[in-house]
Structure formats: structure tokens, C-alpha cells
A and B are shown apart, each in its own frame.
Chain A
Amino acid sequence: GAGVSQSPSNKVTEKGKDVELRCDPISGHTALYWYRQSLGQGLEFLIYFQGNSAPDKSGLPSDRFSAERTGGSVSTLTIQRTQQEDSAVYLCASSSSAGRGELFFGEGSRLTVL
């Protein structure tokens, strides 16, 4: 597609359930990033992929969070046993090169944990 696509756009879940968030980057972009934006907070880095590898997972807040990328394209961010503090907008971005490339963001997935 022309831009970064994320789904679902909105997700409401109950505490303790697992959720999966999907990101489809711009075609040909090798670098993919996940960020989190909580209400009233800045953007928080979660994880970075180069191809299918994740050389930097330093931002994942706990072992309940995991992500994978397949075929050098689509990525899935999984949150297990969701907690209320996981409520946020999860943003995905991609770029054509890891070091100097311009980042392009999707519209985000808004997660609400009740």
C-alpha cells in the first residue's frame, strides 16, 4: 500500500486477555518500529526490526510484550495478560534504511483495557 497500515484501529479488551496488533509497512521498507503513546505522555520506543530480526527490544516494558516480523514485511505486536496500564495508542513506523531514513507512521491502534 501507499502508507503504513495498522489494524485494528481500536481495540477494547478485558484485563487478562491477550491482544494482537498488526502493522503492514510501506512496501520495500526494511526497518520497522513500534512505539507507544500513552495519554498525556510522549512517544515511547518499544522495538525495532531490521528485516525479520529484532536487534533492539530494549523498550518492551515487560515479558508480556512480544513482537515478530515475517517475510520482511508484516509485524505483529502481542500483549499477553493485558493490564489497565497497557491502555495506549500503539504506533508502527517504517523506513527505507535503518540509520538515516525518514520514518513514516501509521494511524495507530488504540488499545483500551477495562
Chain B
Amino acid sequence: KQEVTQIPAALSVPEGENLVLNCSFTDSAIYNLQWFRQDPGKGLTSLLLIQSSQREQTSGRLNASLDKSSGRSTLYIAASQPGDSATYLCAVRPLEYGNKLVFGAGTILRVKS
């Protein structure tokens, strides 16, 4: 059974710092991995999608990497801003049942001004 773990559970950093959020998964047989952010009381906003054949994806100050063989992904946020404060979720789409994502519990990020 696929399980997704995110570390740390919470992170507080001063504005301007570069930071890394970690996601690990137990079964490397995946279609893809997707990173989301969720603001309080809101839905999920897609940040980056990495297909299983890809090593990384970039969007603005965000860079996500995927090491499928070791079951790991990282989300790198450069020059963090208070507006980056949110919960960050990673999710994998397993090959076994590709019609649903398996989510981690999330990392709560607070960027202090």
C-alpha cells in the first residue's frame, strides 16, 4: 500500500530564506507526483506536476525534484515571502490505481516578515 510522508510537519522561517520541503513515498511505481498549496479555508492550488520520467520541474521561485528510485521528492522555494505561508501537500498517483492520488499530511509553512 502506497504511503506518503512529508517532513517537516511545520516550518517557520524569516522572509528571504531559501527552504526545502521533503516528501517520501513507499512504492516507486507511480505515474507522477504533484505538489499543491492550500491556504486556510481554501481548496488546493496545483504548483508543479512531475511525470515519472522527469527529474525536476520549475515554476518561478519553485523547483521540484523527483528521485523515483529512492521514493523522494523535494520542493525548493527560493527567496521566501510572507505570501508563501500555506500548507504544502505532495501527492503521488500510483500505477496500481492511477485514478486516485495518495496525499501526504502536508507541511505547514510560515514565512515571517
Q: Do A and B bind each other?
A: yes
Interfacial residues, chain A to chain B (CB-CB below 8 A): 4, 6, 31, 33, 42-43, 45, 48, 50, 55-56, 59, 91, 93, 98-100, 102-108, 110
Report if B28 contacts A (CB, 8 A). no
- Contacts A42-B106, A99-B31, A102-B34 given; indicate if A55 touches B99 (C-beta within 8 A): yes
Q: In the complex, which residue of chain A has the Cβ closest to the Cβ of B100?
A: A45
Cβ-defined partner of B105 (8 Å) among A4, A42, A107: A42
Which 10 residue pairs spanning A and B have beta carbons closest together?
A: A105-B44, A107-B43, A45-B100, A48-B99, A43-B103, A102-B49, A105-B43, A108-B43, A99-B98, A42-B105
Interface centre among A33, A43, A100, A104 (most CB of B within 10 A): A43
B41 nearest in chain A by CB position: A110
Nearest neighbor of B4 in chain A, beta-carbon distance: A42
B43–A56 CB distance below 8 A: no
B98–A104 contact, CB under 8 A?
no
A107 to B100, CA, bound (A): 19
Residues on the B chain within 8 Å of A102, using CB: 34, 46, 49
B10 nearest CB across to chain A (Å): 13
Other than the given A98-B98, A103-B46, 5 more pairs (CB < 8 A) read A33-B101, A59-B100, A91-B44, A99-B93, A105-B45
From B31, B100, B104, give the contact of A100 (CB < 8 A): B31
The CA-CA distance from A93 to B91 in the complex, in Å, is 13
Which residue on B lies nearest to A33, using beta carbons?
A: B100
- Is B73 in contact with chain A by the CB < 8 A criterion? no
- Interface centre among A45, A56, A91, A103, by most chain B C-beta atoms within 10 angstroms, is A103
Given the complex of chains A and B, what is the CA–CA distance between A74 and B36 in angstroms?
Answer: 24
A99 to B30 alpha-carbon distance, docked (Å) = 10
Of A31, A55, A91, A99, which contacts B43 at CB under 8 A? A91
